[in-house]
Structure 1
Amino acid sequence: MAARRPPNRKALIRAAAAELFLQRGYHNVSVTDVADSLGITASALYHHYRNKQDLLLHTVLGSLDTVDALIGEAGDLEAALTALAALVTGERGVLAVWEREARNLEDTQRAAILEHEIEVVARLVPLLRAERPELGEPEAHLLARAVLGTLGSRVRHRIALPRRRHEQLMLRVASAAAHAPLRTEAVPPGPHPRETGGSTGSPGLRIPRREQLLTEAIRLFDERGFQSVTMADIGEAGGIVASGVYRHFPRKSDLLIAAVNRGGERIRTSVETALDRAADPGEALELLLRAHIAVSLEQTHLMGILSNERDQLPDRERTALRRLQADYLDVWVQALGSVLPGREPAELKIIVHAVHGMIYFTVRVGRTHPWPDLSQHLRDLGMAVLTRTGC
């Protein structure tokens, strides 16, 4: 007797694709890989999805639909956060494709994803305002972003805790963000830090060509993904032909290495400055947070590369970046451990990842949203998650 097709095969295919995209990156996964992981043929998969990009599109839409449905079914904020904490603890890939892999879609598809993302964030706003009626609409949207950012941080690490404990920790993290006190006094809006990729430039002075190309490469790698960008794309963005790019960077990977080295130097400098200025571990924690926020706002594309393009580096540089990121996390964990004594390192690491994920997810839209002092709001949110999660 022939095996019956499971009624939820499309959902199973999307879940398998999400996990593989998370593990290897979109460009390193084939339709055959997804099919093999499910024990079916590629032709059976094509019965449901036309090609790999169609599969990616519906996987991203499916992840958004899942989050949207859980929020919509919840009767209050606590129920929504509980359901979302259980989701991200059990299925790491659900939010990964939304946050990381949607950039591999076509422009019109990305626009549709962004519109759906805005709808999902907005779905959480009434629950937040019902819990906290003092919030204005912009503050509630900010908190909604922060909550989803903390939960989405689960895709960026493999730190293991027993399932129930992990769910409870993610719930406390998200709840700390949702209940963070925000200063709502009027703050005159100032200019947003300009994204430079590391170059400051001066009016009337021409930026060196090599620096200009690196800046454009950082932006393109973050927006489209390293494998989707060509040397011709970088040359066009920098106003020269592809052959001109090769005179400054013989290989495309050299641009990525230069970008990662720049990001690593910014991280090392921020840590040294924070530790030099801090009088005690609590102050060190706050200074680390402020420095991380500043770098995230000023170097949004650079932070995106450090988060998403590590696996595209050559072996030696990839190992060096992993060591740098592990050392950076360790400094945070030491400072946080002094504020939350008695907590095991795995829990402290998850809390720190949640803060970093919250900042990353919120900053990505911060320049186009009416938050007059995003830096200060992120500081308030970050300290709430760091210090109140253990309460």
Structure 2
Amino acid sequence: MTLSAPARRRPRDRRRQILAAAATLFWSEGYHRVGMADVATAVGIAPSALYRHVRGKQELLLAILDEHLARIEAVVAAPDGDLVDGLAALTLERREFGLLWEREAGHLPAEESRAVRHRLRAVAAGVAAAGAEADPANAELRAWAAMSVIDSPAHHRWTLAGDRFGDLLAGAARAVLTVPLPAASGEPETPARPPGLAPASRREALLAAAIRLFGEQGYPAVGLGDIGATAGIAGPSVYRHFATKTDLLLAALHRGNEALWLGLHHALARAGDAEDALTRLAADYTAFVADNPEIVSVLVSQTIHLPAPHRDELRRSQRAYLAEWVALLTAARPDLPAPEARVLVHAALALINSLARVHHLAVRPGARERIATLAGAVLAAGS
């Protein structure tokens, strides 16, 4: 008698394995560089088996965001347990969500993207309701600040041993939920943005149009024809200034990167000591982000579209810029280990990048001072 081989059974958590593998690949390589076959290989299954769970890459991205957002919603809705600790632990378990949402949401259908955005606003409302802030506007600002801090590991790969990472994130989030905020005063920070004037230089006009479109729509969704049309320049004339769309992206990223370095040098030149320099940097960086939301969006989420040599060069410069903040923070707080300072700097910058680009938050009276104060509370966390 011949014994047949035992039937192979599909693991019960196969779908979760697929989502976890795809999230890691999309996070590290970019949605545009990852194919369904790559995901199948990472899970160790045939592509045909992958399609039993999802019909395509777009559905896979939406499933990743939906799964993680559902877990966030469960933490916020839980009647017991510490909300901040729960969100910090969830982020460190699967840290890809924030960057995938910011960088890759343009690949989703508009209706699904709106649905995710609505759910995120509901999460922020839940975080605000759980806090002790009586003023509704301040409660909303603090909630988004805490969520940005907790989500900041999505934007870097640093880690800390043991429970220290989670404790540090949770402590920074609690700091922004409780730090005294300056009183609101005066008119809204920035009224509706005027159309402005176009530069006389056609090259500069193209670069300005590219920065705006890349920041609003994402690099993959924009063509050279779109950029030329926005700048009022006929298609063939674009090629006299930029041979490829990649050249425009590279120019946009260098423009933003150099602006950050210039702001840092100005802050250092005016500062009396490291603590003063950090205060100035937080204020100057907040103003830069609020005044230039599109170019910051390009810096935060579009670098991955550069070819490897240019991407590596720009990331080295970005790491060097961040190292200047870390050096100042460790000089101001000699008891703070450099790895922990790096985590706090990432969290403070993520907070500013997020809040200063949310229009209804950024235009409130005193918003910039308050955002800079919240960033300062992150840098002082655990002291």
Fold conserved between structures, TM > 0.5? yes
For residues 307-360 of structure 1, the C-alpha deviation after alignment (integer angstroms, 9 at most, x for no partner) is 222232234432332222122112111111122212211100000000011111
Partners of 2:267 and 2:147 lie apart in 1 by 28
Please point out which of 105, 109, 113 is paired with 2:108: 105
- The 1:42–1:107 alpha-carbon spacing in structure 2 relative to 1, beyond 3 Å, is same
Partners of 2:181 and 2:164 lie apart in 1 by 28
Residue 35, structure 1, aligned to residue 28, structure 2: no
For residues 24-53 of structure 1, the C-alpha deviation after alignment (integer angstroms, 9 at most, x for no partner) is 011011111112111122222222222111
- The 1:297–1:41 alpha-carbon spacing in structure 2 relative to 1, beyond 3 Å, is same
Residue 168, structure 1, aligned to residue 167, structure 2: yes
- The 1:224–1:185 alpha-carbon spacing in structure 2 relative to 1, beyond 3 Å, is closer
For 1:364, what is the secondary structure of its paired residue?
coil
- The 1:18–1:195 alpha-carbon spacing in structure 2 relative to 1, beyond 3 Å, is farther
Residue 48, structure 1, aligned to residue 41, structure 2: no
- The 1:206–1:171 alpha-carbon spacing in structure 2 relative to 1, beyond 3 Å, is closer
Please point out which of 92, 95, 116 is paired with 1:92: 95
Partners of 2:216 and 2:69 lie apart in 1 by 20
1:10 positional shift: 2.6
1:74 positional shift: 4.8
Partners of 1:7 and 1:207 lie apart in 2 by 62
**Equivalence for 1:184:** 183
- The 1:304–1:49 alpha-carbon spacing in structure 2 relative to 1, beyond 3 Å, is same
Partners of 2:57 and 2:72 lie apart in 1 by 23
Q: Say which is worse superposed, 315-324 or 254-263, in terms of deviation.
A: 315-324
**Equivalence for 2:335:** 342
For 2:117, what is the secondary structure of its paired residue?
helix
- The 1:192–1:7 alpha-carbon spacing in structure 2 relative to 1, beyond 3 Å, is farther
TM-score (norm 2): 0.92
**Equivalence for 2:129:** 126
**Equivalence for 1:69:** 74
For 1:355, what is the secondary structure of its paired residue?
helix
Contact preservation (8 Å) 2:189, 2:362: no
For residues 283-329 of structure 1, the C-alpha deviation after alignment (integer angstroms, 9 at most, x for no partner) is 01111111111111111111111122223223443233222212211
For residues 12-31 of structure 1, the C-alpha deviation after alignment (integer angstroms, 9 at most, x for no partner) is 32222111110001101111
Partners of 1:47 and 1:216 lie apart in 2 by 43
Letter in 2 for 1:22: W
Partners of 2:91 and 2:215 lie apart in 1 by 24
Contact preservation (8 Å) 1:281, 1:339: yes
For residues 261-298 of structure 1, the C-alpha deviation after alignment (integer angstroms, 9 at most, x for no partner) is 11122011101100110011110111111111111111
Alignment RMSD, CA only? 2.2
Q: How many residues align?
A: 378
Alignment of 1:353-364 (within 5 A): 353-364=346-357
Residue 320, structure 1, aligned to residue 319, structure 2: no
**Equivalence for 2:364:** 371
Contact preservation (8 Å) 1:138, 1:371: no
- The 1:62–1:42 alpha-carbon spacing in structure 2 relative to 1, beyond 3 Å, is same
Residue 143, structure 1, aligned to residue 135, structure 2: no
Residue 17, structure 1, aligned to residue 22, structure 2: yes
Contact preservation (8 Å) 2:356, 2:362: no
- The 1:26–1:266 alpha-carbon spacing in structure 2 relative to 1, beyond 3 Å, is same
Contact preservation (8 Å) 1:74, 1:80: no
Contact preservation (8 Å) 2:103, 2:302: no
Letter in 2 for 1:183: P
For 1:187, what is the secondary structure of its paired residue?
coil
**Equivalence for 2:299:** 306
1:136 positional shift: 1.3
Residue 293, structure 1, aligned to residue 299, structure 2: no
- The 1:324–1:43 alpha-carbon spacing in structure 2 relative to 1, beyond 3 Å, is same
**Equivalence for 2:10:** 5
Partners of 1:65 and 1:308 lie apart in 2 by 24
Unaligned runs of 5+ in 1: none
Letter in 2 for 1:226: Y
Unaligned runs of 5+ in 2: 1-5
For residues 70-118 of structure 1, the C-alpha deviation after alignment (integer angstroms, 9 at most, x for no partner) is 1111536xx0110111111222223332232212223333222222221
- The 1:282–1:206 alpha-carbon spacing in structure 2 relative to 1, beyond 3 Å, is closer
**Equivalence for 1:152:** 151
TM-score (norm 1): 0.90
Partners of 1:328 and 1:249 lie apart in 2 by 27
1:4 positional shift: 2.3
Contact preservation (8 Å) 2:189, 2:368: no
1:370 positional shift: 6.5
Contact preservation (8 Å) 1:193, 1:298: no
Partners of 2:358 and 2:311 lie apart in 1 by 28
For residues 229-282 of structure 1, the C-alpha deviation after alignment (integer angstroms, 9 at most, x for no partner) is 221222233334432322221111110111011112201110110011001111
Residue 284, structure 1, aligned to residue 265, structure 2: no
Letter in 1 for 2:351: M
Q: Say which is worse superposed, 85-94 or 276-285, in terms of deviation.
A: 85-94
For 2:357, what is the secondary structure of its paired residue?
helix
Partners of 2:171 and 2:325 lie apart in 1 by 19
Contact preservation (8 Å) 2:345, 2:379: yes
Alignment of 1:149-298 (within 5 A): 149-192=148-191, 194=193, 202=197, 207-298=200-291
